[in-house]
Chains A and B, each alone.
Chain A
Amino acid sequence: MNDMDAGDRLSDAQRMAARVHRRSRWTVRVYAAIGTAGVIYITICGFEVPNLVFQAAFVLWIGTVCAATIYAKRQPVEPRGYRRRFNRTVAVWFVVWMVVFIVGFAFFRHQPAWWVGGGVVSALIMYGGAYREIREARR
C-alpha cells in the first residue's frame, strides 16, 4: 500500500462516518421534542387553568414521549455512545423534574415563577443533550 492509498482509505473512513452522523440527526429531534413538551407541561402546572387544559397538556406530554420513543426505535442507525449519553441526560433531567414537582406542589402551588423556572431548567438539560449530540457528530 502506498501513501495515496492510505490517504484515500482515511478519506473514505471520514466519508462513511459523515454519512452515519447525517443519518443520526434524529437524536437531536428526540431531545428537543421531549424538552419542549416537558416545559409546556411543567409551566401549565403553575397556573390555575381549567382541568381540561391540564389534561390536554398531560396527554401532549405523554404522547410526545411515546412518539419520540417509537420514532427512536424505528431509526436505522444509532450513533456510538448515544444510549449512554441519553440515559445520563434523562437521569439528571428526571431528578430536576422530581424536585420541581415535589417542591412545587408542596410549597409553590399556583406560583408560576417556580414552575416556569423549573420548566426552563428541565428543558435546558434536554437542549443541552441535543447540543452534545451535535458536537459528537462534528468530532
Chain B
Amino acid sequence: MTTRHPRHGLDEVIHSPVRFSIMAALAAASKAEFGFVRDTVEVSDSVLSKQVATLENAGYVSVTKGYVGKRPRTWLSLTPNGLTAFNNHVATLRAIAEAAVPQPEE
C-alpha cells in the first residue's frame, strides 16, 4: 500500500515564493494597501501587479480601487476561497515539515 505524499496537497498557484508571501501578508489582514504589500513582500510594483493578477484570476485575491482624500489607493484582500486555499497550503507545509522530523529511536 502506498501513502500519498503531503506535497500533493500543495496549491500550485500559491506555491511560487512571491505569491506565497503575498498570500501570507494578506492572510493576516482584512485588507492591505498595494504599496504596503509591495514593501512587505519586497518586490517592485510591476512584479506585484503581475502576481496579484495571477492570484485574482485564480479567485484568491480581490482588488478594490478607491480614494483616501484625493489620493487613489488600491486595496488587496483575500477572498474566502483564497483564505481557505492558503490555510490548506500552510497545513500541507506543516505536514511536510513534520514528516521530516526524525522519530526518536526506541
Contact = CB atoms under 8 A, between A and B. Distances in A.
A and B co-occur in one complex:
yes
A80 B29 contact: yes
Given A23-B36, A77-B33, A17 B27 contact: yes
A76 B35 contact: yes
14 contacts: A3-B96, A6-B94, A7-B97, A9-B17, A12-B17, A13-B21, A16-B21, A16-B24, A20-B32, A76-B33, A76-B36, A78-B31, A78-B32, A83-B30
Query: Nearest 8 pairs between A and B by C-beta?
Result: A3-B100, A16-B24, A76-B36, A76-B33, A13-B24, A20-B28, A6-B96, A17-B28
Interface in A72-89: 73-74, 76-83
B68 interface: yes
Contact of A78 (B29, B40, B68, B101): B29
B93 A6 contact: yes
B24 A12 contact: yes
B27 A12 contact: no
B90 A77 contact: no
Contacts of B68: 73-74
B97 A10 contact: yes
Interface of A: 1-3, 6-7, 9-10, 12-13, 16-17, 19-21, 23-24, 73-74, 76-83
Nearest to A4: B100
B15 to A, nearest CB: 8
Contacts of B94: 6, 10
A1 B40 CA distance: 24
A6 B91 CA distance: 10
Contacts of A78: 29-32
B63 interface: no
Interface string B68-106: 110000000000000000000010011011011100000
